[in-house]
Amino acid sequence: MVLFLGTKSYFYSSPVLCKSIASNSNHNHAAHSLDAVYIKRAADIADSSAGFTSPHPNFGCVIATPSGTVAGEGYLYAQGTKAAEVLAVEAAGGFSKGSTAYLNMEPGDCHGDHSAVSALVQAGIKRVVVGIRHPLQHLHGNAIRSLRGQGLQVDVVGEDLKSKIMEEARKSCLLVNAPLIHRATSRVPFSVIKYAMTLDGKIATSSGHAAWISSKESRNRVFELRGRSDAIIVGGNTVRKDNPRLTARHGGGHTPIRIVMTQTFNLPEEANLWDISDVSTIVVTQRGARRSLQKLLASKGVEVVEFDILNPREVMEYFHDRGYLSILWECGGTLAASAISSGVIHKVFAFVAPKIIGGKNAPSPVGELGMVEMSQALDLIDVCFEQVGPDMLISGFLQPVPDLVPVIPSEDETFAIDPSITPYDSKIIFFYKTWDPYGAFSNFSPHPIQMPDGSGSYVTWSSAHKFVGVNEPVAKDCVEKIKSAKSPEEAARMGRSMQKQRSDLVRSDWEGLKIDVMYRALKCKFSIYPHLQSMLLTTAGSVLVEASPHDLFWGGGREGEGLNYLGRLLMLIRSEFLGECSSPSESTCTAL
Ligand SMILES: NC(=O)C1=CN([C@@H]2O[C@H](COP(=O)(O)OP(=O)(O)OC[C@H]3O[C@@H](n4cnc5c(N)ncnc54)[C@H](OP(=O)(O)O)[C@@H]3O)[C@@H](O)[C@H]2O)C=CC1
Ligand SMILES: Nc1c(N[C@@H]2O[C@H](COP(=O)(O)O)[C@@H](O)[C@H]2O)[nH]c(=O)[nH]c1=O
């Protein structure tokens, strides 16, 4: 764990202890470290306006002179205000000439406004470092192309600048605009669930009283979280029990709208949420529920939206279509469970107060999820711990922030990989667990192979390849252990754990090699097990996607954010079999 410094953000807050974001490693790429620092700084300042404006793209720009000193900074305050780049160039004045501009995100330059690009060009900026490309398809790459076209050197993190520290810097850029990125890659807004619970895991007493569990400091923090959201949502029971206001009382700025989700419409006629003088309220309900009360609330100015099927996913898709980027769920455990199991929650903020209230029937933050074993628990990613007043705030992601690299191949791309797929008419076959109908496509299927490892010896599991040829006794020992692993899972686990403990033992050319090793292993597997080859051939015309929610390189991710290299290779091999191409791996590998 490491202290994550100097960041003021909705998504990770300072000072915090974060479980897996940063590393203590020596920075091998010294040349990158300054770039990384300034890209992170650009992400930090981009966040400055959040909470005071509706969640919109957050842009920050830092201008550093050739000697590495900051000459100017700027961030976009709101849509339509001066671009971050313009402000930074103005602040840097004459020092801009020959300097480097660091941008957390490629400028949008939408609606014909090219002010960001023009400002950088006219100021004589020599080099631009871009944290992430613009996530919206129609803007993706435009500004970068334009800057390059006008002679500036543009380095995009993750493309032109690759290293561990650059990867961390890039992550800051992804996080600061997570809601926008979600909008570009998903059909639901970015959703955060926040709750306050006692040390014994209760969000209210058995009678339903909850004011207050968390401290004043924590509640002030919630006001800030509200200000960073487009809407706050609660269930009908929270309205009945708490009569909440759900306003962002953080000293001005953006005020989110309030949403109530009720099936029965069994709501009070008088409630704080029906006072829409400062901010509006939308009640979403089941079609036909208590029309007379609907009319009464409508007469007070409350908007009522009826759904044929009222569930969190339908509701989130509806608000996504209405343009909402980010939603804060402040409901009780009943609705929370429903939202989590619908897969619409991306981040959790849990305020834990050092209090014990007890109560067998006192509610907890998340109701029934139907899980029976701890192995089913949802693991949070990038967990942060922060003390807020007397409370502990624990936050983390339930789903990774999507990467921006296009994912499951586009129709054109797929056609190029495998011409048997007709664009516009392709079916997607997902596989993941070995017991799925196409589970044999998984690398964990029980079909061992013997494949040459490049050093004259044979290995069963491709995981061993990443340590092959490394002249270190531990690496050699690891290769031997992986070779004798009982199952592919065990081999993969050993490989992962060794890589985690001793990343220096992974062969230096592994990144460039792993796709080829996987290709050869798959070609071998599907060559020597005829029934697997037949199964692969029966999928001709379909897109194959490994539905791994965790592995964003080999798998397709939960929401299609993964690169799906396993699926791509299988499609390639399928088309080779269909075209009766042969490959050397067929003759050099065997079944066990
Ligand atoms: N400490 C904390 O952070 C918080 C504590 N609380 C406390 O929690 C208690 C209320 O918890 P809880 O009853 O779980 O309240 P919820 O906020 O989860 O409300 C549940 C209600 O949501 C509505 N709903 C609509 N659609 C769905 C759906 N698909 N799935 C589930 N619910 C749906 C229903 O309303 P309807 O019945 O109207 O149809 C349901 O009864 C109160 O005592 C409150 O004080 C609440 C929020 C935060
Ligand atoms: N009890 C509890 C919370 N409860 C949440 O806050 C809502 C009340 O908001 P408002 O009326 O705007 O002050 C309430 O309905 C519930 O959603 N929040 C917290 O941060 N800490 C707490 O201890």
| Ligand located closest to 337 CA | 1
CA of 240 to the centre of ligand 1 (A): 9
Q: Assign residue 304 a region (left: φ > 0; alpha: ψ between -120 and 50; beta: otherwise).
A: beta
DSSP string, 135-155: SSTTTTTHHHHHHHHTT-EEE
Q: Is 286 in the pocket of ligand 1 (CB under 6 A)?
A: no
To the query of whether residue 85 is one of the catalytic residues in this protein, the response is yes
Q: Please tell me the distance from the alpha carbon of residue 592 to that of residue 589, in angstroms, as a whole number.
A: 10
CA of 244 to the centre of ligand 2 (A): 7
Question: For domain 428-581, which CATH number applies: 1.10.357.40, 1.10.10.10, 3.40.50.720, 2.160.10.10?
Answer: 1.10.357.40
Q: Please tell me the distance from the alpha carbon of residue 161 to that of residue 555, in angstroms, as a whole number.
A: 24
Q: What's the pLDDT score for residue 6? A: 29
Q: Is 561 in the pocket of ligand 2 (CB under 6 A)?
A: no
| Ligand located closest to 333 CA | 1
Question: What is the position in ligand 1's atom list of the atom closest to the CA of 210?
Answer: 45
Q: Is 246 in the pocket of ligand 2 (CB under 6 A)?
A: yes
DSSP state of 437: T
CA of 411 to the centre of ligand 2 (A): 47
What is the domain partition of the chain in residue ranges? 27-182, 186-397, 428-581
* Residues in CB range of 423: below 8 A, 6 or more apart: 411, 412, 414, 415
For ligand 2, atom 11: residue with the closest CA: 244
Q: What's the pLDDT score for residue 456? A: 56
392 and 386 Cβ atoms separated by less than 8 Å: yes
Question: What is the position in ligand 2's atom list of the atom closest to the CA of 353?
Answer: 23
Q: What's the pLDDT score for residue 476? A: 84
325 and 182 Cβ atoms separated by less than 8 Å: yes
Q: Is 215 in the pocket of ligand 1 (CB under 6 A)?
A: no
What is the dihedral sign for C-alpha 434, 439, 441, 447? positive
- As a whole number of angstroms, the longest Cα–Cα distance in the chain is 81
Mean pLDDT, consecutive 10-residue segments, the chain of 592 residues? 29 39 44 90 92 74 96 86 93 97 88 82 98 84 93 94 91 90 84 98 97 97 92 98 92 85 98 94 97 97 95 93 90 96 95 98 95 91 95 92 55 60 66 77 80 62 75 84 72 77 84 85 90 90 83 79 88 84 50 54
430 and 547 Cβ atoms separated by less than 8 Å: yes
DSSP state of 53: B
Q: Is 63 in the pocket of ligand 1 (CB under 6 A)?
A: no
The CATH number that domain 27-182 falls under is 3.40.140.10
Helices 312-321 and 333-341 sit at what angle, rounded to 10 degrees? 70
DSSP state of 96: G
Question: What is the position in ligand 1's atom list of the atom closest to the CA of 261?
Answer: 25
* Residues in CB range of 241: below 8 A, 6 or more apart: 204, 208, 209, 210, 332
Place of tokens 């493309």: 159
Please report, in angstroms and rounded to a whole number, the separation of the first and last CA atoms in the chain: 43
pTM above 0.80, yes or no: no
For ligand 1, atom 33: residue with the closest CA: 335
Peptide bond into 212 cis (omega under 30): yes
Look at strands 70-75 and 60-64 and give their pairing: antiparallel
Q: What's the pLDDT score for residue 5? A: 26
Place of tokens 């003390």: 387
Q: Please tell me the distance from the alpha carbon of residue 290 to that of residue 265, in angstroms, as a whole number.
A: 6
Question: Residue 561 CB: number of other CB atoms within 10 A?
Answer: 25
For ligand 1, atom 21: residue with the closest CA: 235
CA of 219 to the centre of ligand 2 (A): 8
In 3D space, the residue among 402, 422, 433, 29 whose CA is nearest the CA of residue 187 turns out to be: 402
Homologous superfamily of the 186-397 domain (CATH): Dihydrofolate Reductase, subunit A (3.40.430.10)
Q: What's the pLDDT score for residue 584? A: 43
Q: Please tell me the distance from the alpha carbon of residue 35 to that of residue 169, in angstroms, as a whole number.
A: 9
Long-range CB pairs of 354-357 (<8 Å, 24+ gap) are 354/199, 354/390, 354/391, 354/392, 355/198, 355/199, 355/213, 356/198, 356/199, 356/200, 357/198, 357/200, 357/202, 357/205
CA of 290 to the centre of ligand 1 (A): 19
* Residues in CB range of 180: below 8 A, 6 or more apart: 55, 56, 57, 135, 136, 325
Helices 565-578 and 510-528 sit at what angle, rounded to 10 degrees? 50
Question: Which residue among the candidates 73, 85, 330, 559 is catalytic per the annotation?
Answer: 85
Q: Is 210 in the pocket of ligand 2 (CB under 6 A)?
A: yes
Q: Please tell me the distance from the alpha carbon of residue 58 to that of residue 77, in angstroms, as a whole number.
A: 8
Q: Which tokens hold the place of 363?
A: 């509610």
In 3D space, the residue among 443, 402, 462, 468 whose CA is nearest the CA of residue 554 turns out to be: 443
Question: What is the position in ligand 1's atom list of the atom closest to the CA of 263?
Answer: 39
Q: Is 4 in the pocket of ligand 1 (CB under 6 A)?
A: no
Q: Please tell me the distance from the alpha carbon of residue 228 to that of residue 11, in angstroms, as a whole number.
A: 10
329 and 192 Cβ atoms separated by less than 8 Å: yes
Q: Is 245 in the pocket of ligand 2 (CB under 6 A)?
A: yes
